[in-house]
Amino acid sequence: MSERQDMNLTPEERRLQEAIRGLGEVRSEDAFRERLRGQFISGNFGEVVPLEKKSNRRLLWGAAVSSLAAILAFLVLFNGDPVWTLHSVTGTGSIVVNGQPVDASDFEGLKDLVQPGARFVVPATAELELRLGRVMVFGIIRDSDVTIPARTDNNQPIHTATVTGGELLVKTGPAFEGEDLLILTSEGRIELTGTTIAVNKGDGFTCVCVLEGTAKIGKDKADLDEVSAGYRKVMFADGSPSIIVDIEVGHEKDLTDFETRNEEAFD
């Protein structure tokens, strides 16, 4: 337990840690505790409704009408397949989508140009976020050139994106399960099976930071390393050996902010 004495905390962090550790214990209702104790000892839990069903029962009537409407709208509009949509644009300047410049302030104009396989060239003064249903969120950071995945084949659900320059942030969602995302740069490939990462394509290198989960990263299929949360892999165009090192503070902050911003993206 000596590890609980975390080293290298600042005085502020130490105070915060002490405050958390000092939070009071929450007492259960006596009636609940006694009922459950009896059930556990006897093994007779009665008709235990699975957690999800309990939740569903509580929400059922309130959610029924809106859920039905949402499902119908979804089926009518999208025939069941999630589509890429523009979620937000910040900053100023001209964003080029498939060769067509649109002012960053023209949200509707940009929204109309979003389609599978679209290429986004974002200036140093703007950023945007795109969502593919509950499958994934892309954050295209300032001064970046990114092509989002084209429509996937149902028999081979691999989404392939390309980062030609700049930085792409990725967060996968619950509907990503069973699918794969492949991100290509001139220095290598990144294979994801559910995680939050940043792909930074600089001049002569690609740096991939992993905030959550793991990602397979390498120059080619034979060179893939599993990189876990808290680390980054840097691959070089000049043939220098790739390195795996701690995640960079600046990228980590970008990713943490991105993760927090999109915490409810898949609700």
Partner 1 sequence: MGDLPQSHRDDGVGNNSSGSPLTTEVLVKVRQRDPQALAALFDHHFSRIFNLAYRLLGERTAAEDMTQEVFLRVHRAAHQLDTDRDPGPWLMTITANLCREKWRSREGRQAMKTASLDDKPELAVDLSNGSAAPDAEVLDKDRDRLLGEAIGKLPEAMCLVVVLHDLQGMTHEEISGIVGDEPAAVRKRYSRALLKLREILPDGLA
Q: Which stretch binds partner 1 (CB under 8 A): 24-32, 71-79, 153-161, 180-188?
A: 24-32
Q: How far apart are CA 152 and CA 139, in angstroms?
A: 20
Least Å from the CB of residue 222 to partner 1: 24
- Taking residues 118 to 157 in sequence order and writing x for each that binds partner 1 by CB under 8 A, - otherwise, the string is ----------------------------------------
Return the structure tokens found at 221. Answer: 């299929």
**Contact between 57 and partner 1 per CB under 8 A:** no
**Contact between 66 and partner 1 per CB under 8 A:** no
Residue position matching structure tokens 């990462």 = 197
- Taking residues 198 to 237 in sequence order and writing x for each that binds partner 1 by CB under 8 A, - otherwise, the string is --------------x---------------xxxx------
Binds partner 1 (CB under 8 A): choice among 106, 145, 225, 259: 259
- Whole-angstrom CA distances from 219 to 17, 39, 241 are 41, 57, 10
- Taking residues 173 to 192 in sequence order and writing x for each that binds partner 1 by CB under 8 A, - otherwise, the string is -x------------------
**Contact between 39 and partner 1 per CB under 8 A:** yes
H or E element that contains 191? strand 189-202
Binds partner 1 (CB under 8 A): choice among 11, 47, 52, 220: 52
Please report, as a single letter, which amino acid is at residue 75.
L
Q: Are 226 and 220 in contact (CB under 8 A)?
A: no
Long-range contacts from 228-237, C-beta under 8 angstroms, 24+ separation: 229/195, 232/207, 232/208, 233/207, 233/208, 234/205, 234/206, 234/207, 234/208, 235/185, 235/187, 235/188, 235/205, 235/206, 235/207, 235/208, 236/187, 236/204, 236/205, 237/186, 237/187, 237/204, 237/205
**Contact between 36 and partner 1 per CB under 8 A:** yes
Query: Which residues contribute to the site for partner 1 (CB under 8 A)?
Result: 1, 3-4, 6, 9, 12-13, 16-17, 19-30, 32-33, 36-37, 39-43, 45, 48, 50-52, 54-56, 58-59, 174, 212, 228-231, 246-247, 252, 256, 259-260, 263-264, 267
